[in-house]
Structure 1
């Protein structure tokens, strides 16, 4: 299972939100690139970045910070937040990120995802499905749509999507464990690579996610709050030692 330590960027700083609430912010570092280097030093083989300001604004906001991180580490990086046009995708890939994550736009315009895959290849495009009670949340989690998460997952698979990040936003930043049940349904129903996100608090949580065959897991607050050591987690779940 691939582990993705997360760096959420707001106003150029490394932060975490609780349940995706933009007013409930904790700042962990003024220099996100230092955090990225720290994760890499601990053995991270992939880093997950989110431009929180971008997600809310619907356009890229923290591009300089993202570029700095890309330049500081040698591991691949995936980036999400405010990517809504083909130009947005292109500019992110030109910064040197390995792949981009598209959320809101997948709900609003599936044809756009098809075009993105056709232009850049399925390996560079990841779909972020953020859900609350099984329904898809959009626009930086500010709205819950009337779209079922699994239905959207199946639609994305049909278009050619290979990888989906599935986030349960009621769990995110709460350190109460991931939503195993909903994540398992997504894994079993779609058959694509599912990256689980939201609520991971312990090595036990990672074990449960391994058991339901997710491709990877995004770990945020648990690392910042030192609930467990990234190095230990990588040895146990990524290297299988």
Structure 2
């Protein structure tokens, strides 16, 4: 299993979200140190000026970077890849706009990855603020496979930032149901 460390970035600072709530503590005011011993780093931007830190993060790391948070346009995907980001994360837009999702995959293939955020089996979008009741997570995962995606980022919000480990049961359930 490939474990990918994740960091949250707000206003250029490394911060921590716990179950969707921002911890006011700033852990670092500079780009994250090189993540020795890891193969990938996942960086999520939580700021309006979200993409400004991407070039700095990409240039400071010796490992590939997955970067996301509010990516809503094909031009943004292209710009982030040009900055040196290895893989761009799309979430809400992938769920709400199937045309965008298919176009992103057609143009960038495995350089884009879809992320789903779940709380109590409910899919949440728009920064965990809105429930996407119309979207069945397993059916969505199957649709991603049909398009050609090979990976999916799954975040269980009830576990996020708690340092208690991932929701293995939820991941296994999604894997099983997405195979059906």
Q: How does the TM-score come out when normalised to structure 1?
A: 0.69
Separation of aligned partners in 1, 2:59 and 2:117 = 29
SS of 1:173's equivalent in the other structure is coil
Is the deviation greater in 6-15 or in 181-190? 181-190
The equivalent position to 2:80 in structure 1, one of 59, 80, 92, is 92
Separation of aligned partners in 1, 2:165 and 2:87 = 27
Deviation (angstroms), 1:168: 0.5
> Does the alignment pair 1:78 with 2:66?
yes
Deviation (angstroms), 1:25: 3.6
Deviation (angstroms), 1:186: 1.4
The equivalent position to 1:119 in structure 2, one of 95, 107, 126, is 107
Unaligned runs of at least 5 residues, structure 1: 55-60, 192-241
> Corresponding residue for 1:63?
51
> Corresponding residue for 1:49?
43
Contact 2:139 2:178 (C-alpha < 8 Å) held by counterparts:
no
Separation of aligned partners in 1, 2:131 and 2:114 = 17
Contact 1:99 1:124 (C-alpha < 8 Å) held by counterparts:
yes
Pairs aligned (count): 178
RMSD: 1.6
Unaligned runs of at least 5 residues, structure 2: none
Deviation (angstroms), 1:46: 1.1
| Dislocated runs of 4+, deviation >3 Å | none
The equivalent position to 1:130 in structure 2, one of 85, 93, 117, is 117
> Corresponding residue for 1:30?
29
Q: How does the TM-score come out when normalised to structure 2?
A: 0.91
Is the deviation greater in 173-182 or in 97-106? 173-182
> Does the alignment pair 1:142 with 2:136?
no
Deviation (angstroms), 1:152: 1.6
> Corresponding residue for 1:157?
145
